């Protein structure tokens, strides 16, 4: 089963139909979806296509009340999408959100690294990439050991820190959607993932770097084939066996979601 762990949807007319067609075309069975504009729309689309779409709720750290997480869990969301926090991701003011997510078994997909410009909203929200640095998730992984953390974009451009996080934290995963594979070479990742063997430090589920990677696209639906091909090419260049490729493209995510 192929699972895309990073898909944006919206209330735009025909959005879900376009996504489903693109998934069919690219052999993607299921997708984790989130709608930054409307959690209600996200849930409605997922309820209409429960065999294809998996709902993640958008929570604005520092702006939404903590109880939002409880409501999202009750409504059937399987995870949270987090971006543009009012403070650093490791700020103790955010711990109640993470604690609730851990309690309800909601996976937390954090945007990490450089964030797109958002026009006038940048100023209004005081957007600041430095609050979303991947290393800020170190404290979150330690404080909430039963919380599953996925760092979208692996902290781009802080891939060194992202790779070390993947090595040390059993509850830390990453995706390589975005521009990481456009500006970093396969050899660069080969060097980052030098730890592809068990050691006395490695965790049971963490001695193979690509067991911590989940496939995600985060692109317009007519371009899903591009990140898919880039990520496949990386795994091939680094001689990953078929069972690891299968895990990246869905097996690991299916396990995390209990599918």
**35 is a contact residue toward Zn ion (CB under 5 A):** no
- The runs of H, that is alpha helices, within 169-237 are 180-183, 186-192, 225-237
Q: Which residue is nearest to Zn ion (CB)?
A: 218
CB of 219 to Zn ion, least distance (A): 9
**Cβ closer to Zn ion: 31 or 244?**
31
**Cβ closer to Zn ion: 227 or 250?**
227
CB of 58 to Zn ion, least distance (A): 11
User: How many residues make contact with Zn ion (CB under 5 A)?
Assistant: 1
Q: Which of these ranges, 66-74, 160-168, 194-202, 213-221, lies near Zn ion under the rule CB under 5 A?
A: 213-221
Q: Which of these ranges, 34-42, 56-64, 153-161, 210-218, lies near Zn ion under the rule CB under 5 A?
A: 210-218
CB-CB neighbours of 90 under 10 Å: 20
Q: Is 107 helix (H, G, I), strand (E, B) or coil?
A: strand
Query: Site for Zn ion (CB under 5 A): which residue of 4, 158, 161, 218?
Result: 218
**C-alpha span between 182 and 167 (Å, rounded):** 23
CB of 204 to Zn ion, least distance (A): 30
Report whether 28 contacts 2 (CB < 8 A): yes
**Cβ closer to Zn ion: 41 or 202?**
41
**Cβ closer to Zn ion: 161 or 218?**
218
Task: For residue 114, give every residue at least 6 positions away whose Cβ sits within 8 Å of its Cβ, in sequence order, or none.
Answer: 129, 156, 157
CB of 218 to Zn ion, least distance (A): 4
Contact map string, positions 71 to 90, toward Zn ion, x by CB under 5 A: --------------------
Interacting residues with Zn ion between 44 and 63 (CB under 5 A): none
Q: Where are the beta strands (DSSP E) in 9-123?
A: 30-34, 53-58, 79-82, 107-111
**197 CB burial (10 A radius; 0-12, 13-18, 19+):** exposed
**Cβ closer to Zn ion: 209 or 227?**
227
Closest among 25, 31, 54, 29 to 226, alpha carbons compared = 25
**Cβ closer to Zn ion: 193 or 221?**
221
- Cα 134 to Cα 113, 157, 199, 219, 225, distances in angstroms: 6, 10, 24, 21, 26
Q: Give the footprint of Zn ion on this chain (CB under 5 A).
A: 218
């Amino acid at each position: 089963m192929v699972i895309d762990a990073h898909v944006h949807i919206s209330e735009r007319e025909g959005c879900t139909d376009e996504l489903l067609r693109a998934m069919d075309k690219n052999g993607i069975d299921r997708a984790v979806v989130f709608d930054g504009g409307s959690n209600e729309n996200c849930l409605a689309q997922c309820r209409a296509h429960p065999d294809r779409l998996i709902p993640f709720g958008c929570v604005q750290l520092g702006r939404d009340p903590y109880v939002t997480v409880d409501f999202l869990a009750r409504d059937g969301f399987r995870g949270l999408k987090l971006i543009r926090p009012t403070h650093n991701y490791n700020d103790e003011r955010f711990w109640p959100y993470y604690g609730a997510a851990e309690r309800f078994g909601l996976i937390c997909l954090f945007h990490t690294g450089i964030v797109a410009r958002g026009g006038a909203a940048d100023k209004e929200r005081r957007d600041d990439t430095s609050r979303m640095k991947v290393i800020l998730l170190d404290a979150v992984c330690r404080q909430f050991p039963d919380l599953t953390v996925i760092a979208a974009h692996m902290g781009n451009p802080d891939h060194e820190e992202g790779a070390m996080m993947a090595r040390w934290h059993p509850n830390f995963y990453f995706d390589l959607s975005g521009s990481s594979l456009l500006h970093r070479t396969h050899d660069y990742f080969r060097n980052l993932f030098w730890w592809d063997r068990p050691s006395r430090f490695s965790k049971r589920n963490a001695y193979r770097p690509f067991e911590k990677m989940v496939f995600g696209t985060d692109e317009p639906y007519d371009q899903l084939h591009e990140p898919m091909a880039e990520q496949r090419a990386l795994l091939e260049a680094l001689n990953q066996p078929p069972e690891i490729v299968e895990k990246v493209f869905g097996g690991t995510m299916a396990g995390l979601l209990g599918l």
